[in-house]
Chain A
Amino acid sequence: MTSSDTRQPASGTTPSPKSTWPPKLDGWLDAVSRRATAEGILSSILVPVVSALAALVVGGVLIAIDGVNPLSVYQAILQGVFTKSRGFSYTATVATPLVLIGVGYALAYRARVFTIGGEGQYLVGAVAGTAVVTAGGVGDLPRVVLIVMGLGAAMVAGALWGGLAGVLANRFGASIVISTLMLSFIGDSLLQWAVRDGIRDPESYNANSRPITAAALPSFFGQKTHLGFLFALVLVPIAWWLIRRHRWGFRIDALGHNPGTLDANEFSSARVTLSVLVVAGGLAGLAGMVETTGVNIRLGQEASVGYGWDAIIVALIGRLHPLGVLIAGLGMAGLTIGFESAQRQFELPSSLVSLITAFVIIFVVWGDAIAARWKEAR
């Protein structure tokens, strides 16, 4: 978002190129991933911010209907996130998987590869990583080695899970939306089987794995934030650089804009599709293991908390830009953490957070439509 090029050719003098531009691009994803113009930056930042505020207003109305003063709720949320010592630490922890998976989604969506399989890849990654670090005979290895092995196994498993959808799409023309969704259900079943049977701790009464404390990620920022957040922070500039300066990023954008031209001139679009699914899957797998070894002590049935789904929203609100994903991930995590404490304090229904995030999405889509129309009218 550095260069802002407002020197567009005078569109009034040339006969509108729109009529000669046959590919009908579905409006808003195009609007967010194209090269930045001053107008584009304005609408790509303004729309999500205004949408988030509007969603909070609607949420406020809902809170008021519940008989609570919305202002005091929001005040409590802000206090919860920013002033309490553990607030930001919690937020960063919740944001970690959202950002890791969200950056993968953002890359895929730039290529118009509409994977929604982050949840399955996350779970498969967690299972594979846990299996490796709790296997017999590895207990004596140094912690660093165990961590690397676990995270590596998780990334490979997630990448395979994502790559499978790519193979199905390239070989058989299967819809990526459908196959990644189905693979997510299979991933969840795999987790249920693993913790009950496959890698169950035989000495535990509950269905969960052996403790993974030997591979636990080091924490910083007080007691909650773990090394994974650092991964997320490092990933953002890497992804940004890939998009702007690496051939792979160029091919991703080219695939999103015109697969036919990519195929005829630069590289096989099928292979770009596969690669982006593998990378997004690997990142989701990494997120699964990072969450398991950073936050939990064992892998249990409840490992699936929906980060893979929420990250879709994070990627979209983050405008498919790594930095945007980071901001959106932190924002969503803050909202979640804040509402959790406010909810207890004011006895509010727990569904309020999801209601408000859903409203954010609706307003973003709506706002983009308005921005596009406004742009066209000028």
Chain B
Amino acid sequence: MRSVSRRFGETVALDGVDFEARPGEIHALLGANGAGKTTLMRILAGLDRPDAGTVEVFGRRIESFEPGPIRALGVALVQQHFTLVPTLTASENLVLARPEGALLPPGRTAGVRVQKLVEKFGLEVRDGVPASQLSVGERQRLEILRALDADAKILLLDEPTAVLTDVEAERLLGVARALADQGRALVVITHRLAEVEACDRVTVLREGIEAISDGSVDGYTRADLASAMIGTDTSGTITARTTRRTQAAPVCLRVRDVSLGRVSSLTLDVGEGEIVGIAGVDGNGQSELEAALSGRSAAESGEVSISGEPIAPGDPRSRRGQGLAYIPSDRYSWGLIGPMDLADNLELGRVLPIRPNRPARHKAARPSLDHWDVRTAGPHARTSSLSGGNAQKLVLARELDEHPSAVLACYPTRGLDPEAADTVATRLVAAAEAGCAVLWIGAELDELLAVSDRIEVLYDGTLFGPYLPPFDRAAIGLAMAGDAADRARTATGGEADPP
């Protein structure tokens, strides 16, 4: 792939990226969220097309980016999200992907086909059970088998280990090595440093540009890779706070041994007036943490309390009454009701049993909209007509207007332009300086470095930290890529995870 570029609207996903995969090698593609890894691989697999640049497969230049012809050349992409038909068995899924003739083969023939593949590649998969009943690891192996069934010469694995246990992940990398030894070219997308070490070559993408281009894995230390991934440029879009809190404040938001999904036994305190940033690559338990802390879901165990009072799940009005404001990661799913007007959305959580009439409601909403600078046609406008930044300001207006004692802010600047992001950050910092405990879950490290009094890194459902200002960027970057977790594991003596 030569100087491949791709933009989506205003966003530049890839900016002149060169990439090569060679037979017999495993090439790691490393990068933080939104670095362009997946876009690059989708282009190579023909699921997307580049705006500029060329792609060659075995010396043949790709002209039309269609998945079919490219697959015929031997390129196979195993996507991050499973694409098996959940109700079909392993053999049925394989037949579906590559039918032989118009008639379905008898069950036994199809079973033999699976059996042969399983033996040939050493990828253990049970047949005769619907794919939905297979373990995550098995499903992953079946996806790979399906790619190999089509005789893939170039195998692209998009974050194959994200959902696997450590033992399974190790086993998968072993299989990848064996496949490379057979002369196949493998590309593994990852954000875990430990996995890069099992590869031959590495390319690091950051914001659509190669930070390390096609280097030999041996030539880089973990710290090199981590800093290439997160960058050293500290000039974020968000105005950095000039003063940080240094002494401990009374605890306001208390999280004790909370477990939910990926998150296991997480404990955390946020003091009054303190901003705690939760850094980490997406999918390490952020969404479960958000759900448990906001009371959207009941935690499997543990307790979240605010000023000593536990937060009851499924009771948003009490949560608000207790003083916990919630800025959801997806404002359109959990924050706003698009077809309703601004005044209605502003009232959520404190709607009176008998509501004033509409003109009165609109009038009541106006000062708040002005104060938070929600630029709109007026309180009567449909919320879905707002731009992202104004929609987020509307959420802030609702959540922060009543002077909460704690704020759970999940990706509060996601999808906003720099100006709007800065406004949102400034408002949250102002809330903290007024004595509010702010827990800021974010994906962009720069942003967290700019605002936090303390940073904790969420990796695989566990917190690593604390990191205190002045922040050691490199150390946080390493922790985000799992280095702290690896070392903790080595220290406690090996494999804690059950297979």
Contact = CB atoms under 8 A, between A and B. Distances in A.
Interface of A: 3, 5, 7-9, 11, 14-15, 17, 20-23, 25, 30, 34-35, 244-247, 250-251, 253-254, 257-258, 260-268
B338 A35 contact: no
B168 interface: no
Contacts of A246: 353-355
Given A11-B385, A258-B336, A264-B316, 13 more contacts: A8-B385, A14-B387, A22-B332, A23-B338, A34-B339, A245-B354, A246-B353, A247-B355, A258-B337, A260-B333, A260-B334, A265-B320, A265-B326
Nearest to A31: B339
Contact of A263 (B9, B316, B378, B398): B316
Contact of A9 (B334, B351, B385): B385
B382 interface: yes
Given A263-B296, A266-B349, A25 B385 contact: no
Contact of B415 (A20, A244, A261): A20
A153 to B, nearest CB: 28
Nearest to B390: A14
Interface stretch (B151-159, B340-348, B445-453): B340-348
B422 to A, nearest CB: 20
Contacts of A17: 384-387
B221 interface: no
B357 A245 contact: yes
27 contacts: A3-B380, A7-B380, A8-B382, A9-B385, A14-B385, A17-B386, A20-B388, A21-B384, A23-B338, A25-B339, A35-B382, A245-B357, A246-B355, A250-B347, A253-B340, A254-B344, A254-B348, A258-B337, A260-B334, A261-B336, A263-B296, A264-B328, A265-B316, A265-B326, A265-B398, A266-B317, A266-B349
Interface of B: 9, 294, 296, 314-317, 320, 326, 328, 330, 332-341, 344, 347-349, 351-355, 357-358, 376-378, 380-382, 384-388, 398, 415
Contact of B332 (A15, A20, A254, A268): A20
Contacts of A3: 358, 380
B465 to A, nearest CB: 27
Contacts of B338: 21, 23, 257-258
A8 B381 contact: yes
Contacts of B326: 264-265
B335 A264 contact: yes
A22 B333 contact: yes
Contacts of A20: 332, 388, 415
B359 to A, nearest CB: 8
Can you list the 4 inter-chain pairs with the closest CB atoms, starting with the nearest?
A: A264-B334, A265-B348, A9-B377, A258-B337
Contacts of A250: 344, 347, 351, 355
A3 B376 CA distance: 19
B388 to A, nearest CB: 6
B355 A261 contact: no
Nearest to B10: A15
Contacts, number: 112
B377 A7 contact: yes
A267 B9 CA distance: 37
A261 B315 contact: no
Given A9-B381, A266-B348, A245 B355 contact: yes
A242 to B, nearest CB: 10
A21 B339 CA distance: 10
A22 B334 CA distance: 12
Contact of B340 (A14, A257, A264, A268): A257
A268 B339 contact: no
Contacts of B314: 263, 268
B205 to A, nearest CB: 25
Contact of A261 (B348, B377, B381, B387): B348
A267 B314 CA distance: 8
Contacts of A244: 358
Contact of A23 (B294, B333, B340): B333
A22 B380 CA distance: 22
Contacts of B387: 14-15, 17
Nearest to B341: A35
B240 to A, nearest CB: 29
Contact of A247 (B351, B376, B378): B351
A11 B326 CA distance: 30
A242 B4 CA distance: 58
Nearest to B315: A268
Contact of A254 (B337, B357, B398): B337
A375 to B, nearest CB: 14
B137 to A, nearest CB: 27
Contacts of B294: 264
B334 A261 contact: yes
A223 B153 CA distance: 86
A268 B315 CA distance: 7
A266 B316 contact: yes
A264 B341 CA distance: 18
A59 B340 CA distance: 39
Nearest to A263: B296
A9 B380 CA distance: 10
Nearest to A241: B354
Contacts of B349: 265-266
Nearest to A5: B380
A258 B339 CA distance: 9
A9 B381 CA distance: 7
B75 to A, nearest CB: 30
A268 B298 CA distance: 13
B89 to A, nearest CB: 25
Contacts of A265: 316, 320, 326, 334-335, 348-349, 398
Contacts of A263: 296, 314, 316, 334
A17 B326 CA distance: 23
Nearest to A256: B339
* Most chain B beta-carbon contacts within 10 A, residue among A7, A244, A247, A264: A264
A266 B320 CA distance: 9
Contacts of B388: 20
A219 B384 CA distance: 50
Contacts of B332: 20-23, 258
